[in-house]
Structure 1
Amino acid sequence: MKVICDRSALVESLNLVGGVIISRTPKPVLTCVKVTAEGDVLTLAGTDMEVAVRLTTPRVEVTESGEMLIPSDKLQQIVRESVDPTLTIAADGEAAHITGQDSKFKIYGYGVDDFPPIPEFDGSADFEISAEELHRLIAMTIFATARENSRYAINGVLMERDKNKLSVVATDGHRLALAKGHCNSQNDTPQSAIVPTKALNLLLRLFDDAEQTVSVKIQDGQILFATEQAVLSSNLVEGNFPPYADVIPKDGDKKATIATDVLVSAVRRAALLTNEESKGVRLAFDEGGLTLSSRAPEMGEAEIKVEIDEYNGDPVEIGFNPAYMLDALKVADESQVHLDMKAGNKPGVLRTGPQFLYVIMPVNLQ
């Protein structure tokens, strides 16, 4: 194998594939990137046995076809530190020779036969979706997934498709984010899958062109996302996702409409005087507006008064974790947010239009 690569394009491709490769493992081949040169295409692939990425690298000249395994960390370091506009990569048995204008490197790799197979995107897609829409749905939910929770199913994000409607849901038991969107599908059979957070974080980096169309296929306990340039495959999270529709309150009779930027600013300021012992912000709603207050022992207290666009219902006081509120407000894509509440000890529901809903549990401020 011998190939001449544009160095900047190769750096970008290696960074993307490197996101799935693990540095410490009993299986040395899993620390490697698989490099395949065929025709006029250079393909890079990596896997950690749970998630796999395969993508083609632009601006290459293949002078000799072949494939090899190269340790990912050293290859990335050499390519990143090089000052040459192009680099030549050639195989000599299991060793890779990387040559620039004034430098030569030799890296010992492994036999390609030891590399685990990476799933192929065969056949037609279950549905297609624009990269822009997919990014929106993931960004509006992924922050609410559980971290290191014993309930393994909520460590991932639930994707549910019904005809051309796609719902994406995440929860950690303290809050729940639900985003709705549209896809194109010829398959009328409803589908659902719990996708690991790691795979979706990689997806956000891999498919960064809003104009791309992403094909999606669910098969044999795996989900595959593909464009013309790249394929991301991932094992699905096992287990049952909580029945999320049951925990979305539908009886909130106290309704507030607030400018998104106004609420973000007020919550940020009130959060300045909270700590680990008192990490809640009190929100007091009435016809006169909204008052946010917080206090932390031995630190002090804060009070911020905010005008709101509209409020219907009796006065209510409720405490929320400000970090949880800001997580949702950061991804709100509307100028106004709507907050529905029932009582100070009941969950609140934050909405931005019909496509985003966020349930947040109250905190005890006593």
Structure 2
Amino acid sequence: MRLTIQKDHLVRSVQDVMKAVSSRTTIPILSGIKMVATVQEVTLTGSDSDISIESSIPAEEEGTIIAEVLQPGSIVLPARFFAEIVKKLPEDNVEIEVQNQFVTIIRSGKAEFSLNGLDAEEYPRLPQIKEENVFKLPTDLLKTMIRQTVFAVSTSETRPILTGVNWKVENGELICIATDSHRLALRKAKIEMDASLGYNVVIPGKSLNELSKILDDSNENVEIVITENQVLFKTKHLLFFSRLLDGNYPDTSRLIPADSQTDVIVNAKEFFQAIDRASLLAREGRNNVVKLTTLQDGIVEISSISPEIGKVTEEIQSESVEGEELKISFSAKYMMDALKALEGAEIKISFTGAMRPFVLRPLHSDSMLQLILPVRTY
């Protein structure tokens, strides 16, 4: 294999596929990046067997030559060293040449590195996915849906299924749900696809986080293909595979209360800042608990007590309070996470009593909601 390639394209592709390379792999060859050069393109692949990422660099784009492949071929190079070397090369062009015994020479300007590579034939094959029943989402919407749900997945391995986000496709709509059993995040959106198709799968939260980091902010479509045990996200120059989690996701629909006893509408930013201030003292406590009390004339009191340190009380004027008076305690962190995920200047919070889960929604949209379980305080 012998080629010259533009450094910035190579660096970007290496950084993308590095997101799938794990330093703690039981399969030694997976600590490397696979590189395949053909006359048309150069492809790089990284994998940790849960996530696999393939990034392709076209030989030519819009009349500009990006890579010139003088001799097609393939090699697996140690990922960590290759990534560091490429990033620090002195010139804009990089020459890569594989010699005997998979020894690979990397030249740029006056710098020359020699790396011991491995046989690309030994590298595990990527999943073969039949691209049927593809649906599409604009990149920016996909990233938003991930951001608004993935933070609520469980970080505990006691119930592995909860470390993923449940993706349901039904009636031409995608519904994403994440819960760690103390809180829940839900976001839905209309999608372009055959309305008769349906899916119900669980994608690891880690995979979605990595995908979100790689995707550019654009409104170009990402193609999504779901199979029995894999999901593929496909953009112009990128294939992102993730395995799916086994098992059935719990039915969360019954967690979401249908009615409420107290409804509060608040300015999202003011409310967030008040919770943030109250949590300054609560953070020292074991559980970061903040208390909300409804008072007369739409006043909402936010307070927190930390016996060793002191207490904080703040009143904010809500847009409206309807229904029964209420005192409720909850985790400041969960509340702030939920508020960050919601869009809109005004948030409606619906309570069904001091010990029941409560729901936050943007005032003028039913495409998303956040649910939080209160904390019992005596």
Task: State TM-score, norm by structure 2.
Answer: 0.93
Name the aligned partner's letter for residue 286 of structure 1: L
Taking the TM superposition and a 5 Å limit, the aligned residue runs for 1:182-201 are 182-186=190-194, 188-201=196-209
**CA–CA separation in structure 1 for the residues paired with 2:26 and 2:258:** 51
- Higher alpha-carbon deviation: 113-122 or 161-170: 113-122
> 1:319 maps to what in 2?
329
Task: State TM-score, norm by structure 1.
Answer: 0.96
> 1:362 maps to what in 2?
374
> 2:75 maps to what in 1?
68
**CA–CA separation in structure 1 for the residues paired with 2:318 and 2:278:** 16
Name the aligned partner's letter for residue 285 of structure 1: T
- Higher alpha-carbon deviation: 90-99 or 155-164: 90-99
> 1:49 maps to what in 2?
49
- Once the two structures are superposed, residues 57-116 of structure 1 have per-residue CA deviations (whole angstroms, 9 ceiling, x without a partner) of 363222221111011000001011222222111111412211011111011111111100
Instruction: Count how many residue pairs are aligned between Structure 1 and Structure 2.
Output: 366
**CA–CA separation in structure 1 for the residues paired with 2:319 and 2:147:** 27
Is 1:279 matched up with 2:291? no
Q: State the SS of the aligned residue for 2:42.
A: strand
- Once the two structures are superposed, residues 243-268 of structure 1 have per-residue CA deviations (whole angstroms, 9 ceiling, x without a partner) of 11011112212101111111111110
Q: After the TM superposition, list the runs of 4 or more consecutive aligned residues in structure 1 that deviate by more than 6 angstroms.
A: none
> 1:123 maps to what in 2?
131
1:278–1:295 CA contact under 8 A, matched in 2: no
Among 308, 323, 331, the residue aligned to 2:318: 308
Could you tell me how far 1:173 is from its partner in structure 2? 0.7
Gapped regions of structure 2 (runs ≥ 5): 59-65
- CA distance 1:157–1:25, change in 2 (3 Å): same
> 2:37 maps to what in 1?
37
Name the aligned partner's letter for residue 22 of structure 2: I
1:284–1:291 CA contact under 8 A, matched in 2: yes
Taking the TM superposition and a 5 Å limit, the aligned residue runs for 1:118-157 are 118-157=126-165
1:257–1:339 CA contact under 8 A, matched in 2: yes
2:36–2:44 CA contact under 8 A, matched in 1: yes
1:341–1:348 CA contact under 8 A, matched in 2: yes
Among 334, 359, 362, the residue aligned to 1:349: 359
> 2:24 maps to what in 1?
24
1:224–1:233 CA contact under 8 A, matched in 2: yes
Identity score, percent: 27
- CA distance 1:43–1:333, change in 2 (3 Å): same
**CA–CA separation in structure 2 for the residues paired with 1:187 and 1:33:** 39
Q: State the SS of the aligned residue for 1:346.
A: coil
2:153–2:205 CA contact under 8 A, matched in 1: yes
Could you tell me how far 1:37 is from its partner in structure 2? 0.9
Is 1:224 matched up with 2:232? yes
Among 302, 306, 317, the residue aligned to 1:296: 306
> 2:109 maps to what in 1?
101
Could you tell me how far 1:187 is from its partner in structure 2? 5.2
Could you tell me how far 1:189 is from its partner in structure 2? 2.4
